[in-house]
Structure 1
């Protein structure tokens, strides 16, 4: 108890340092615990989003669990159907999700139908049908015609409900009685449709998996089917369908294993007990990939946090070192009086446990709030009001927090361990030798880390060159953790290396102006030059903060911009849409099974295939849509050809109106030898002018001025003249597409493009459907355009919204991680840097009170003391800012280009480009300036309150 009281008193004596240390521990725990929280939250969001996209794309509810089984002729005592019903009822609850709907559908096999009264129906028509029943069918239909069927046979006839499709297909009307005759049946079955029905609500989940075979199903009441068909042994073959619709929005990551296990149990049951069955659960495919996604996301998060983890470690070490420095004399005295190192360390261990316990108590809750910051990030230092991610504390968060506490407390104890090794004599010697090299410089750690970083940089460059040269594809957002770890080590090593050189710079400055420096600058230069190790911690701290911020800003900006430009280039404009064109194409004909709709049976008339004639719809309405700044017609023919001399190549033909296209299309500068508009201006000079891709020029030897012939099948070609050669063009990917038969790096399969005038193509070749490209006015939303399209009743068959695709890309979990973690890491770095900066200089000021007092007594004015303080700040903190700027920019230039390894090299068009936004760096410099300015203001205020007699008296004490 006495030891605990002594530790508490010692902590109270250094309460501000202890609170700063506690803050660092809390942030460390918060950062560590936020990893599993964020991973869980973002994957949870992605899971639901993926399932929603799956529903949109497939038009099937992801929560549908559909199972079908065939039961042959029932034998006496066969209970398989009843057992399967009970099993599926139990399994539906095992998914542990709310059940939106559960239906059981029964059906006989398909039988031949004959009219009971041949005089009323044509007996020559082949009719086939099956008797079926669905649970709760009456609640989900509307009666179109007729009356509801009886729940019992009427004079031996089963009354049935039918959909309109059946009457059309079977060529019957209501009231026509049909007879099922089959050798396997002991008696004939008569059935009569008495009502035509349709879906009461077309969006009803009830119809998710049952809108098939409606042209052959006769629905009778479910109770009647169970009584007369299911429960009567040795009656007939039967199909059973069990459809369960689960609320997938309630699916949690923790429930994925349960969901997959339940489906596996269903599959195992059906495979053991039934010979013929099918099982459909499309959600399983999506869920099975989430284990790998979680692993990748976790690695990415830790990789992104390496720089801030290094900063936190430095902060903790620096604060712990400051605390230990104030107690080194006490430690040395205790050691000289016989206290063992273990006895001294017990006190520091208990102190670390107390602080670590408090950090573990509050840290995870702070991490919970940090996770919300991650979810709101839309770019580096950019936040948006998106739907909040679902965050919650779990056991894993506390486990990560505990590991962080242990590691952090271990870091805090290092200075104390080193201090216990020094005797009272050694302590006094250390005070007198402040200008000696630091330990990291003695072992040349900076040189070693620099060498390792440069080696790994070259390794990454070789790998990148191989990918580009061979045309290989990297996996979707394949993130190598070293892409984030190596730059952090480079920044650390570069900072240390420049600090090794910095004392020589101070000596040079001192030597250059030795005869002219005023006394206060002379004193400052001597102070900084002779105590370089004293300032290295704070300088390295500032270097790491600023360099990491610059690198993070550049990396996040580059990745975001390249993803956006890839989408913009691929689409070509803000909106790309297709409209319905009137044409004279014959309607698709249904022929015998296996015959394609466009294929004619042998012996049919008409030898040649007639070319479809199209009628171009009005284009002007698209230019008048709300929010449209410009519109362009863009025709594309993928299977066109180009003939140059004897060479004929398959190519993509694009027809444009040069003026409209230039105003509407998106294109990045510096992709072509000349400006994009220059090529359009050249093209506009001649109606026969065309531009060709570099791949055509290289393969055929074509050059500007050559005459070529363009066209496609079923049209007569036209003669054109080459006016230019291009490497890139809006929406066109020039990268080779490798196939199994093509060799790596082969250029013979490179895509080809010809750009000509749309009017020339329509007048000389053919009029065929084209795309409409729209450029929206600034700050105009797509929703306004959609409403305008609906108001003008423009028929749109396909629409691509570039802005929406960019938003979707920003919601990608890996993009969120990059933006969120880099932003959060920088904010944490700035916060702890500011605290560390103030702590260091306040303690330094207290350490120099005697010196300032003596200088004031010698006649140095207060203004000159302020000048000393400013000069010391410029030579230390200012130098740290300058070195940090240099290091951050060098790291960005060297390592940010490597991030193209995370993108698919074949689809990354336009080429990867490193981006720097001056606003990002301006934000950094403003924050650092404010930090140093506030520090100087606080130090100046404290300096103004120093009284000479108190300073001298303190020195005497």
Structure 2
């Protein structure tokens, strides 16, 4: 009990330091616990989006589970008992999905039987009516009567009343009210049924309808309770099939419920497979969700690697605050050691103190992690936030497990200074106080050199890997973003910062030595203070250097990753909207079963028997002008694309991509990145604009076919005549054209590169053939231009076969979980670094100010004015914080220059067009400088205010040093 009292008194004595330490602990726990929270939240959002896309494209609700069983018992009772046993199993298995059940439907069905009319004079008895009897739970609540009445709940005079769909009346050639009797040798006791109502679904999109109601066109639909009583539980007709259908709420699906869904599916599969010989399970979502199990682990590794710089920063902060606490208590520790207290006893008091603070951080941290996760979800770039729909954030067991790890690590960091302090006796402590120039741990053991060595080795390894990928045409898409791409730059930043801190005191001494005879007293004192006590400033300077360097690197990396991803989408599509409109034609309908294979490229059919050439399809061009007149459209262009065209040069020929354009419209519609071509995009269009047969060809075609400007080539495709074109220019890139090989080299041969020919659409149409073209649309630069265009397009009801929206694809790319992780974690990491640096900066200088009151009093006593004292403080800040600011900017620039180019490893070289380019936006650097400058300025104002409040004249008293 006495030790607890001592600990509480010690904590109250240093309450501000203890609160600062608690702040760091909470932030550390929040950051670490946010990783699993964010991983599950972002994957849950991605999974829900994928399931929504599946529902849109397929028209079917994705998260359903349907079990079908064919019952093969010899008696009706045996089959009925089997069906009810499955009912019990399914009823118990439903909650195991751990998802809200939106619909649970049981369906029964009999064999198809021959039904004959009871009154053969009124109904044609020659019509074969093979019909089954089905029943579904709660069926009546989901249908509406078109004609007739709902069936009775019991047989009426021995006749079972049933419902039918509209198509059944025509297929079975009957009307309501007629009675039909089973005539089948399998049914010794025939039953009579009477259709009394025609139904339609109340809502076509109702989740109840796993199969369309129209599929019951040859079925009599009976009340479920009647079916259960007289068929499932009877002995007249045997139940032959059963279906159990779950519709689950996929908006609540996360990584935990994915596991539950898969496990439950496997349990159902195992049960029905072991019990029945014929069964079928259908779960469409399995194909969508299976790939996300692997992505969960990938994203977790990614988050750890992204947070390495911030965790290093937090470790430094915790160590620094703990060191400040221990420094103020070193005299007490030394006295306790001198009076017989063991190191373990002293260390135990710090362990208890750390456990108390750690318990608070463990309780609060995960919920602070939730707040950080919401910030991550709103990030759209480095230090950019948007109004995005909130992530579904929950504190889970994994978050608390990670929080426990963070508390343990933080506790270890805070105990290191206490452990080191317990080694010194009172004599040793006084000796250490007199040796202010003691070398720091990382400089003594060359930690800085080791870190730089590891970082430079990683740099060379990545460069070798990048060279191999580019030379061999390999695909790097499988590993996405390599986590080491973020870890190695962090090590380089830290190593270079520590190395500069090793050299910086020598620079201060050089400045002091160069002007020691001319420096004013205030600057003279400051240079001596900084030069002799450089170890005291090392933690603070490391804070500022790593903060700024990490921010600059993060800004450059995030900007580069975002820009290259978006440029890839814009180049691939070529413009804002690409439409494929249906053209009327005289093509015959496709043959059933397939026909002859067409001759391959370079092959000709054997001339043994003459074969009539296929009739060329004639197309009717739809109106084009209307697209350019739609609201929101700035320009529209016709773009003809033929991927399987052929170019002939002499006796050689090669497959090409032929693009036909109208130069004026295309120039105003297409997007080409600046600097991608040797000349401006318009120059190439102007070059071919005056000659109808002029074309541009890709450099890949020029190199592989050996053509050049001025050469003539013949271009056409299967079924048309070839026409001559003249080459006017050679381009490296063109909108939508990817010059990279689609397949890696094999067999020692160079890969066959794609080839492009760009000509005039009007000449291609008149000289070769008129075939469907694409409609490229460039939207106006207005906020609601796309929505206005979409509304107008839907209102016109054009026969659109395909619709490509570049803006939508760019949004999808930004919402990729890995892209969001990079943007969010880098932004969050920098903001945490700034906050930590500010608190560390302020805490250090406030304590330093309080500890040097006597020194300031002596300086005032010897004639230093208060403005000069403020000047000394500002000079000291410039030589420490200001120097760290400049060094951090330099380190960040060097790190970006060396390591950001390596991020092209994360992009598939076969699809990354335009080529990877490092992007640096001056506005990013400006924001960083403003944030860090504001931090230092606020800190200086607070320090100046505190200095003005100190009664320095009272510090110099009789008997003091």
So what's the TM-score if we normalise by structure 1? 0.91
Which digits, 9 at most, give the CA deviation of each residue in 1:388-419, with x for residues without a partner? Answer: 22223333333322222222122112112212
Deviation at 1:184, TM superposition (A): 6.0
The superposition leaves residues 223-248 of structure 1 with CA deviations (integer Å, 9 ceiling, x where unpaired) of 66667765565857833333332233
Name which of 824, 828, 834 aligns with 1:830.
834
- Residue 603 of structure 1 aligns with which residue? none
Secondary structure, counterpart of 1:668 in structure 2: coil
Aligned twin of 1:575: 577
Deviation string, structure 1 residues 566-595 (Cα, Å, up to 9, x no partner): 222222112222223222334567x6xx46
Distance of 1:934 and 1:683 partners within structure 2: 62
Provide the residue aligned with 2:601 in structure 1.
Answer: none
In the superposition, relative to structure 1, how do residues 417 and 103 fare at CA in structure 2: closer, same or farther (>3 Å)? closer
* Matched residue, 2:724: 719
Match of 1:677 in 2: 682
Conserved 8 A contact 1:181-1:189: no
SS class of match (1:692): strand
Go from structure 1 to structure 2 and tell me whether the alpha carbon gap of 1:194 and 1:363 turns closer, same or farther (over 3 Å shift). Answer: closer
Paired residue for 2:15? 15
1:560 aligned to which of 556, 559, 562: 562
SS of alignment partner, residue 952 of structure 1:
coil
Deviation at 1:671?
2.3
What is the correspondence of 1:423-822 to structure 2 with a 5 Å cutoff? 423-475=425-477, 478-587=480-589, 594=593, 609-738=614-743, 743=746, 747-781=750-784, 782-822=786-826
Moved more, 683-692 or 137-146: 137-146
1:53 aligns with 2:58: no
Distance 1:814 1:300 in 2: 8
CA 1:217/1:658 → structure 2, altered by over 3 Å: closer, same or farther? farther
- CA displacement at 1:708 relative to structure 2: 0.9
Instruction: Measure how far apart 1:819 and its partner are.
Output: 1.5
The Cα of 1:493 is off from its aligned counterpart by 0.2
Does 2:939 align with 1:935? yes
Counterpart of 2:266?
Answer: 264
Shift of 1:183: 7.1
Aligned counterpart, 2:956: 952
Q: Render the CA deviation track for 1:182-227: whole Å, top value 9, x for unaligned.
A: 7767699998977665434322223332457455445555566667
Of 306, 324, 327, the residue aligned with 1:325 is 327
Q: 1:936 to 1:147 in 2, by over 3 A?
A: closer
In the alignment, which residue of structure 1 is the partner of 2:605?
none
Provide the rounded CA distance (Å) in 2 between the counterparts of 1:498 and 1:233: 92
Structure 1: how far apart are the matches of 2:453 and 2:102? 62
Q: Does 1:372 align with 2:377?
A: no
**1: CA distance between counterparts of 2:197 and 2:950?**
101
Q: Structure 2: where are the runs of 5+ without partners?
A: 599-610
2:306: which partner in 1? 304
Structure-2 change in CA distance of 1:357 and 1:757 (3 Å):
same
Distance 1:393 1:76, change over 3 A: closer
| Stretch deviating more after TM superposition (778-787 or 87-96) | 87-96
Counterpart CA distance in 1 for 2:325 and 2:11 is 10
Q: C-alpha offsets along residues 752-789 of structure 1, whole Å, 9 cap, x if unaligned?
A: 22211111222222222222222222243332221121
1:495-551 per-residue CA deviation (whole Å, 9 max, x = no partner) reads 011111212222332344344433322332222222222222211111111111111
**Where do residues 84-123 of structure 1 align in structure 2 (5 Å cutoff)?**
84-109=86-111
Shift of 1:280: 0.3
Q: Within 2, Cα distance between the matches of 1:714 and 1:182?
A: 59
Task: Trace 1:802-881 onto structure 2 (pairs within 5 A).
Answer: 802-881=806-885
Q: Does the Cα contact within 8 Å between 1:691 and 1:723 map onto a contact in 2?
A: yes
1:147–1:195 contact (8 Å) kept in structure 2 = yes
1:916 aligns to what? 920
1:405-454 residue CA offsets vs partner (Å, 9 max, x unmatched): 22212211211221222233333333333234322112111111111111
RMSD of Structure 2 on Structure 1 (CA): 3.4
1:392-407 to 2 correspondence within 5 Å?
Answer: 392-407=394-409
Query: Tell me, what secondary structure is at the counterpart of 1:953?
Result: coil
Q: Secondary structure at the match of 1:893?
A: helix
8 Å Cα contact 2:165/2:214 also seen in 1: no
SS of 1:956's equivalent? coil
Give 1:151 shift.
8.2
**Counterpart for residue 602 of structure 2:** none
| More off after superposition, 680-689 vs 473-482 | 473-482
8 Å contact kept, 1:642–1:648: yes
| Pair 1:581–1:885, CA change in 2 (3 A) | same
1:3–1:618 distance in 2 versus 1, CA, 3 Å: same
Residue 111 of structure 1 and its aligned partner are, at CA, apart by 6.9
Question: 1:205 aligns to what SS in structure 2?
Answer: coil
Q: Deviations over 1:319-351 (max 9, x none)?
A: 121222222233333334443322332332232
Distance 1:230 1:527, change over 3 A: closer
Contact 1:556 1:819 in 2 (8 A): yes
* Greater displacement, 721-730 / 467-476: 467-476
Change (3 A) 1:93 1:376: same
2:275 maps to which of 270, 273, 276 = 273
- Secondary structure at the aligned position of 1:766 is classed as coil
Gaps of 5+ in 1: 600-605
SS in 2 for 1:723: strand
Question: Where does residue 251 of structure 2 map in the other structure?
Answer: 249
User: Which sits farther off after the overlay, 224-233 or 416-425?
Assistant: 224-233
- Distance (whole Å) between structure 1 residues aligned to residue 747 and residue 667 of structure 2: 36
User: Contact (CA 8 Å) 1:74, 1:233: kept in 2 or not?
Assistant: no
| Offset from partner CA, 1:29-83 (integer Å, 9 cap, x none) | 2212222222232233233222222222222212322222223463364232333
In 2, distance between residues paired with 1:585 and 1:127?
39
CA distance in 1: counterparts of 2:225 and 2:23, whole angstroms = 70
Please give the alpha-carbon distance, in whole angstroms, between the structure 2 residues aligned to 1:585 and 1:237.
Answer: 49
Compare 548-557 and 670-679 and name the one that shifted more.
Answer: 670-679
Instruction: Supply the distance in 1 between the matched residues of 2:360 and 2:557 (Cα, whole angstroms).
Output: 35
3-state SS of the aligned residue for 1:725? Answer: strand
Does the C-alpha gap of structure 1 residues 608 and 824 become closer, same or farther in structure 2, counting only changes over 3 Å? same
In the other structure, the counterpart of 1:40 is: 40
Q: How many equivalent pairs are there?
A: 945
- 3-state SS of paired residue (1:674): coil
User: Is the Cα contact below 8 Å between 1:435 and 1:531 reproduced in 2?
Assistant: yes
How far 1:930 sits from its partner (Å)? 1.0
Tell me: CA distance 1:403–1:228, structure 2 relative to 1, closer, same or farther (3 Å). closer
Alignment partner, residue 66 of structure 2:
66
**In 2, distance between residues paired with 1:538 and 1:936?**
14
Distance in 2 between residues matched to 1:614 and 1:147, nearest whole Å? 52
- What is the CA–CA distance in structure 2 between the aligned matches of 1:481 and 1:418, rounded to whole Å? 34
Q: Which moved more, 1:524-533 or 1:742-751?
A: 742-751
Match of 2:357 in 1: 355
CA distance in 2, matches of 1:665, 1:48: 34
Secondary structure, in 3 states, of the residue corresponding to 1:750? coil
Whole-Å Cα distance in 2 between the matches of residues 356 and 90 of structure 1? Answer: 43
> Quick one: structure 1 residues 864 and 285, their matched pair in 2 at CA, closer, same or farther if it must change by over 3 Å?
same
Q: Secondary structure at the match of 2:99?
A: coil
Q: How much has 1:725 moved relative to structure 2?
A: 2.0
Q: Secondary structure at the match of 1:733?
A: coil
* Contact residue 477 and residue 814 of structure 1 kept, 8 A: no
Q: Deviations over 1:884-923 (max 9, x none)?
A: 0111111112222222223333222222222112111111
| Matched position secondary structure for 1:206 | coil
Structure 1 pair 148–318 and aligned structure 2 pair: CA distance change class (3 A):
closer
